[in-house]
Amino acid sequence: MKDAAPQTIYLSDYSPFGYLVDSVSLIFDLAPHTTRVKSRIAFRPNPDATDGTFFLHGEALTLISATIDGAPVSPDITPQGLICAVPDAPFVWESEVEIDPANNTALEGLYMSNGMYCTQCEAEGFRKITYYPDRPDVMAIFDVTINGPHPVLLSNGNPVKSAPDTAQWHDPWPKPAYLFALVAGDLVAHSDSFTTMEGRHVALNLYVRPGDEGKCDFGMRALKASMKWDEDVYGRAYDLDLFNIVAVDDFNMGAMENKGLNIFNSSVVLASPETSTDMNFERIEAIIAHEYFHNWTGNRITCRDWFQLCLKEGLTVFRDSQFTCDMRSAPVKRISDVIDLRARQFPEDQGPLAHPVRPESFQEINNFYTATVYEKGAEVIGMLRRLVGDAAYARALDLYFDRHDGDAATIEDWLQVFEDTTDRDLSQFKRWYTQAGTPHLHVSESFELDTLTLTLRQETPPSAATPAPAPLVIPIALGLIGPDGEEVLDTRVLEMTKAEQSFRFTGLDAQPIASILRGFSAPVILHHDLSDADRVHLLAHDTDPFNRWEAGRTLARKALLGIIERGTQVDAAYLNGLRAVITDERLDPAYRALMMGLPSQSDLASALHERGQTPDPAAIHYASEAMRDILASHLADDLQALYHAHQVSEPYQPDADQSGQRALSNAMLSLISRTDGAALAMRQFQGADNMTQQLAALACGIRAGQGDEMLAHFEAQWKDDRLVMDKWFGLQVHEAAPENAAAVAKKLTEHPDFNWKNPNRFRSVFGMLAMHHAGFHHASGAGYRLLADWLIRLDAVNPQTTARMCSAFQTWRRYDPDRQAIIKEQLDRILGTEGLSRDSAEMLTRIRG
C-alpha cells in the first residue's frame, strides 16, 4: 500500500542523489505470486551531491537478503524504501526481493495480463520491482536475465543470450529506471526490418497474443514511417539493433516508450479494417510515432526530475503532431488538435486542477500526466517555433541534441539552446511554463482613412496555482481580408508582450476584416467582436483554413446559444455559408466533415460559464438536437447527394483521402437518419465491410430508436473481439438519451463481459458516461452517484485509473446549487472511503477545494 499521509514534493527542493550508478544487473525468476528479483548494483559517491544518505525506493517488496560488497547488511525499512549505512567509496549493493505480479492490479511495476508478465515503470513503478534510486536523474546501464517457462522473454536493449526458459539482455544506453521493461509470455511476433540512415540494420517486432497476428500490419508500417520521418525531419536515427513493441490488454495509459521495448495498450496498436475505425487508425499511427520519437526526446535526453515532464512530453506531442501533419492533412490535424485542447485542456486550466505546464509541487506524480503538461506543453513549443522561425527552431534542436545527449535535462536547458541559437531573451516567454491559466485576448479595432488599428489586451484570470499572472509573450498570426473577399494582407506574426498593445496597418483601400490567431497561433481565448456577416465573410473567404473553420465554429456556437436563449431561429446566412463550404468539391472532404461538426455540449457549457451564466445541461442538449434538426431540414437536398458522392468504391484503406470521404458521408448519414427512420443507416450497417461504416451506422440506428436488433447483431458478430466489444459497450452509453444514460451504464455493468478491472472496459462505460454531458449531469444525480460508486470500487484495485477519472467532476462548480450539492456529497463520500489511495485523495481534494 502507498503511504496514506499526503506528502507534497516541491521543485525547489531538488537535490541530486548522493550516489552514481555504474552498472545494474538484474535476475528475474518469474512465478505469478512469488517472483524473485536479484539485483547487483555498482554505486559510487556522487561528487556533485551534498547529501550522502543512501536511500533506495522500494514499495510492496519482501526483502530476502541484502549485502554490501558481499557482507550482509540490515537496512532500516519503511513503506517507501530503505536506508543503509554505506562506505564512502565505490561499493556493490546486492539484494534479493520477492514480489507478487499476479496480485498487482494497480498495473504499475511488474504485473500480469492474460497470463503474460509485463511492466509499467513510469513514473515510479520500478520501486515495486526492486530497491533502487527510482528517480529520472539516476541513469545506468542495465543487464537483465529472465528465467521462466515462457517462449518469449524480453527486456530493453540488445539480446545477449537466449536459451529455452532463459534470456539475457544488455542495454548499452544509460537510462533511468522508469524506462526499464520486461515482458514474458506466449506471444507471437510480426517481424520486419529497417535500415537507418547510418546503415544500421534494425530488426523490428510487434509482439501480440496468438490470434491477433492479423492486426499488426498497420502498426508496423506506422513504425517504419516514424523511423524514416525522424531521420528526415530531425536527423535522428535509431540506436539499437532491435526495436520491439508489445501489445498488452491491461494498461492504464496509451503506451510507454521503454528503451527498445515499447509497451502498448492493445487498443492503440492493433488494427484491422473490419475491427478498427479510421479514427483508430489515425490515433495508432500517432501514438506509435509518439513512443518512437521518445527515443530521442525522453530517452536519450531525459528529465532531471518529474517537474520537467513537459520537457519530454510537450516536445514529443509537438513532434508527433508535425508527423501527422506530414502524413495526412495539416489543417485537419490542426483543427482536431484544437478541438481536443479546448475540450480537455481548457477546462483543466480554468478549474480547480489548474497547474502550470511545469508544475511546482505535487503529491502523486501520476496525477500530472495531464492535458496541460502534454497538449499545452506542445502548444508552447509551437509558439516558440513561430516566434523564432522554422530555421532557427531546427538549429536550436540540433544544439539541444548535441549538447544534452545523455543528460537528464530541465526546461532551463531547453530554453537556453533557443537563447544561444537566436540571441533572444526568453525570460518572459518562460512564463508559459510557470504560469497556470488560459489567457483571454480581447481585440478592439478602429479604421480611419487608410489605417486599421488593432488594440489587443491580454488577461489571465488568477488561480490558486498562479495568483498574480504577468503578461505573456503571445505570437498572434494575423491576416486581413478585404470586403470583396481578397486577402489584402497575408499572414504575419504579431508579437504581443505587454498587457495591452496596439498594431497599425496602413495603406488600406477599405476597412478589412481581421483574421486573428490564424492556425490558432496561441492557446488563448479570443474575444473579437465581429458581426455575423463578417464571420460569414470569413467562412467564405479566409485563406487560413483554421480561421475559416473557426468562423463557422463561432457561428455555430452563437446559433446554439441563440437557441438556448431565444428559441429555434438560425440565421439563414450562416446556413447558406455552411452549405457553400460543405458542397465545395475543391475542398478536402475531411475538412468539410469538420465544418459539419458542432461544438460539443460541454463546450457550450463552458461558453455559458464564461459569460457568467449557469449552464443547464438539459437546455444545452435540447439546443444541440434542435440545431441538428435545422441542419437536416435546411441541407436536406445536399445530404443525399453528398452521401452518395462520397462513397468509397476502392478496397478499404485507412489513409487520409478515404477516411475523409467516409467522415463526410457519415456526417451526412447522421443527419439523414433524423428524417428517414435510419433506413439508409440500416442499409449501410448491413453492407459495411469496415468498422468505420458499421459503427457510424449503428450509432445512427440507436439514435433513431432502431438499435436493439443492430446491437444484438453486432454483439453476436464481435463477442470474441475485446477491442470491438469495448466499442459496443461505449457506444450504448454515448448514444443513450440523457435520462437513460446512467441506467444504460448500470445495466452494462451487469453484462458478463463487463470486466471492470480492465481499464479499457471500465473506461468504455464510465469514461463515456462522464463525457455524456446531459446524461452525466442529469438533474436526478444518477450519473454522479453511479460514477462515484464505481470509482470507490475501482480505487481499491487501480488507483491510477481511478484518479484520472475523478477529473469528470472538475467542472462541478459551474452548475446550479442542486447539482453542486449532489456532486459535493459524492466527492465527500469517495473522500471518506477508508484506505482511499493517495492518487484519488489528491485529485478529489483539489477538485473539492
Q: Which residues are catalytic?
A: 291
Window 786 to 815, contacts with ligand 0A1 (CB under 6 A): none
Instruction: Pick one of 18, 28, 30, 122: the residue that binds ligand 0A1 (CB under 6 A).
Output: 122
Least distance CB 310 / Zn ion (angstroms): 10
Least distance CB 53 / ligand 0A1 (angstroms): 26
DSSP per position, 323-345: HHHHHS-HHHHHHHHHHHIIIII
Report how far residue 643's alpha carbon sits from residue 631's, in angstroms, rounded to the nearest whole number.
15
3-state SS, 543-575, equals CCHHHHHHHHHHHHHHHHHHHHHHCCCCCHHHH
Report how far residue 36's alpha carbon sits from residue 27's, in angstroms, rounded to the nearest whole number.
8
The residue (of 298 and 523) whose beta carbon lies closer to ligand 0A1 is 298
Least distance CB 338 / ligand 0A1 (angstroms): 20
The yes or no reply on residue 234 touching ligand 0A1 (CB under 6 A) is no
Window 539 to 558, contacts with ligand 0A1 (CB under 6 A): none
Least distance CB 763 / ligand 0A1 (angstroms): 15
Report how far residue 783's alpha carbon sits from residue 785's, in angstroms, rounded to the nearest whole number.
6
Least distance CB 444 / Zn ion (angstroms): 40
Residue at grid coordinates 457506444: 731
Contact, 845 vs 831, CB < 8 A? yes
Which range touches ligand 0A1 (CB under 6 A), out of 86-94, 255-263, 712-720, 819-827? 255-263
Least distance CB 317 / ligand 0A1 (angstroms): 8
The residue (of 212 and 257) whose beta carbon lies closer to ligand 0A1 is 257
Window 256 to 315, contacts with Zn ion (CB under 5 A): 313
The residue (of 159 and 254) whose beta carbon lies closer to ligand 0A1 is 254
The residue (of 541 and 804) whose beta carbon lies closer to Zn ion is 804
Strands (E) across 46-149 are located at 55-57, 62-68, 71-72, 76-78, 81-83, 91-99, 109-113, 116-120, 140-147
The yes or no reply on residue 120 touching ligand 0A1 (CB under 6 A) is yes
**Binds 255, which of Zn ion, ligand 0A1, none (CB < 5 to 8 A, cut-off by type)?**
ligand 0A1
**Binds 277, which of Zn ion, ligand 0A1, none (CB < 5 to 8 A, cut-off by type)?**
none
Helix (H) or strand (E) holding 494: strand 487-496
Which range touches ligand 0A1 (CB under 6 A), out of 38-46, 250-258, 508-516, 617-625? 250-258
Count CB neighbours of 721 within 10 A. 18
Least distance CB 286 / Zn ion (angstroms): 11
Instruction: Pick one of 97, 129, 253, 805: the residue that binds ligand 0A1 (CB under 6 A).
Output: 253
List for the chain the helix, strand, coil content (%; round to 5).
Answer: 45, 20, 35
Report how far residue 436's alpha carbon sits from residue 372's, in angstroms, rounded to the nearest whole number.
9
Size of the site for ligand 0A1 (CB under 6 A): 14
Binding mask 327-366 for ligand 0A1 (x = CB under 6 A): ---------------------------------------x
What are the φ/ψ torsions at residue 90 (nearest 5 degrees)? -55, 145
Least distance CB 121 / ligand 0A1 (angstroms): 8
Report how far residue 761's alpha carbon sits from residue 67's, in angstroms, rounded to the nearest whole number.
44
Residues 6+ apart with CB under 8 A from 211: none
Report how far residue 737's alpha carbon sits from residue 300's, in angstroms, rounded to the nearest whole number.
49
Binding mask 274-293 for ligand 0A1 (x = CB under 6 A): ----------------xx--
The yes or no reply on residue 842 touching ligand 0A1 (CB under 6 A) is no
The residue (of 119 and 435) whose beta carbon lies closer to ligand 0A1 is 119
Instruction: Pick one of 369, 401, 503, 756: the residue that binds ligand 0A1 (CB under 6 A).
Output: 369
Contact, 713 vs 733, CB < 8 A? no
Contact, 533 vs 541, CB < 8 A? no
DSSP β-bridge partners for residue 83: 55, 76
Report how far residue 730's alpha carbon sits from residue 605's, in angstroms, rounded to the nearest whole number.
23
Residue 797 DSSP symbol: T
The yes or no reply on residue 257 touching ligand 0A1 (CB under 6 A) is yes
Of the candidates 514, 415, 520, 500, the one whose C-alpha atom is nearest the C-alpha of residue 457 is 500
Report how far residue 438's alpha carbon sits from residue 47's, in angstroms, rounded to the nearest whole number.
42
Residue nearest to ligand 0A1 (CB): 253
**Binds 45, which of Zn ion, ligand 0A1, none (CB < 5 to 8 A, cut-off by type)?**
none
Of the candidates 801, 821, 805, 804, the one whose C-alpha atom is nearest the C-alpha of residue 813 is 821
Instruction: Pick one of 66, 86, 242, 256: the residue that binds ligand 0A1 (CB under 6 A).
Output: 256
The yes or no reply on residue 303 touching ligand 0A1 (CB under 6 A) is no
Least distance CB 316 / Zn ion (angstroms): 5
**Binds 369, which of ligand 0A1, Zn ion, none (CB < 5 to 8 A, cut-off by type)?**
ligand 0A1
The residue (of 119 and 130) whose beta carbon lies closer to ligand 0A1 is 119
Residues that bind ligand 0A1 (CB under 6 A): 120, 122-123, 252-257, 290-291, 313, 366, 369
